[in-house]
Amino acid sequence: MVFEAGRMFALVGWPAVLLLAWLAGELAHRGLAIPRVCAYSLAGIVYAGWGGMPQDSETRAAFTFLANFSLGLFLFELGHRINLRWLVVNPWIVVSGIAESLLTFVTVRTIALALGQPEDIALVLGALSVATSPAALVRVVNDLRGSGQVTERALHLCAINCLLSVLLMKGAIGYWQLLASGSLTAAAWNSVAILAVSIGCGLLVGVPLPWLLQRLRADERGVTIVFALAVMLVTVLTQGVNVSPLLAALTLGVLIRRKRLVLTPAQRNFGVLGDLLTVFLFAYVAGMAIWPTTAAGLALAVLLSVGRVAAKMSACAAFAHVSGTSTRKGALSGLALAPLSTFALLLLEYSRTAGFGPADNALAAIAGMVIVMEFLGPVFAQWALTLAGEAQKTEKA
């Protein structure tokens, strides 16, 4: 009876929390010029501190599915904005993205080891720190109507970050499985197979879509619904076969862009559905993290955050000239990559449910950095676009 009452409180409390989070986001954005997602995250952290996060496995699985679907919409939109032709014409952008990701991985791993973290946890922290939150970056870009060199570079680098973060995370899981089983072949095959199947699910859903939309001749609203349902199908499909829904959604978006099915400005954020799911995504995912309770935990969070942002800015600035921009804009592109949380935590949650043993310890270690970057990351991204002169705010009154 007590368990059922607690479960009912957690479920009933969520609509109220989401409403309060939305109101706080509007007040923060209009009154303080702070990105809305920062307020959404704060609401989730406060509610989790009161014990509002679902504890039973069924409810948690349902909430995680909804969070994956929500993030999948952002990853689809991010993938849809990737111009593969630009990357072929200017391969230095890809090189800079790889260099920046690897430098971030090495920097965070080194700091974690220096502060006493075990090798397997340090590997996971490094892999997760490579990722840039596509939800936070895309939302900030859309809210500011960002357009220009820094905006486009940041979006493309974000996609590279997410891809490499998944690869590095699979490498960390493979290393752990190697230590546990002693079989190099099994560890390598498990990681490669999961990546291949994830991409294959995105292709499986994405290939028929152009034909379907051309036959239906759907209007703008209909196209948006079809895209949202396609992302939901990818999420269901990948979770059904226990592979990553995040990589599949990104693949789907890139494929749709290649087929020249475009998202218009009116479709970005997926309308009211996207706005609602954004509030839930940031509130729920932020609630997974726990405030550091010791000075050592706080120091770890701050140092990892500083090292991560410094690595991204340094690498992007170093490759700025060869990739066709100024050092200043290169550094601003790196600063725009500061948002973390959503992608990293959902990737870690997926790894935990897939049986990755160190996931719980890794969550405790990275939680402090997630909370720091949950608030500062979107603000840094907003500053980067504003300082680059690419913010064209046309907010509703």
What CATH number has the domain bearing residue 139?
1.20.1530.20
- Host domain of residue 264: 63-277+291-387
Greatest alpha-carbon pair distance for the chain in Å reads 65
Query: Where residue 327 falls among pLDDT bands split at 50, 70, 90?
Result: very high
160: left (phi over 0), alpha (psi -120 to 50) or beta: alpha
Q: Is 27 among the domain residues?
A: no
Query: What is the reported pLDDT for 93?
Result: 94
Q: Is 393 among the domain residues?
A: no
Mean pLDDT for the chain? 82
pLDDT digits (tens, 9 = 90+) for 216-249: 776 666 777 888 888 999 988 887 777 778 888 8
Q: Which of 33-47, 162-176, 259-273 has the lowest mean pLDDT?
A: 259-273
Q: Is 34 among the domain residues?
A: no
Query: What is the reported pLDDT for 2?
Result: 44
In the predicted model, is pLDDT for residue 3 greater than 60? no
0.85 exceeded by pTM: yes
pLDDT digits (tens, 9 = 90+) for 20-69: 999 999 998 888 888 999 999 888 888 887 777 777 777 788 888 888 89
Domain count, the chain: 1
Q: Span 117-124, mean pLDDT?
A: 85
SS in 3 state form for 96-162?
Answer: HHHHHHHHHHHHHHHHHHHCCCCHHHHHHHHHHHHCCCHHHHHHHHHHHCCCCHHHHHHHHHHHHHH
Q: Is 251 among the domain residues?
A: yes
In the predicted model, is pLDDT for residue 283 greater than 80? yes
Is the Cβ–Cβ distance between 124 and 169 less than 8 Å?
yes
Highest mean pLDDT (candidates 133-137, 298-302, 358-362, 390-394): 133-137
pLDDT digits (tens, 9 = 90+) for 91-114: 999 999 999 999 999 999 999 999
More confident residue, 5 or 55: 55
Q: Is 311 among the domain residues?
A: yes
Q: Is 238 among the domain residues?
A: yes
Q: Is 304 among the domain residues?
A: yes
Q: Is 329 among the domain residues?
A: yes
In the predicted model, is pLDDT for residue 154 greater than 90? yes
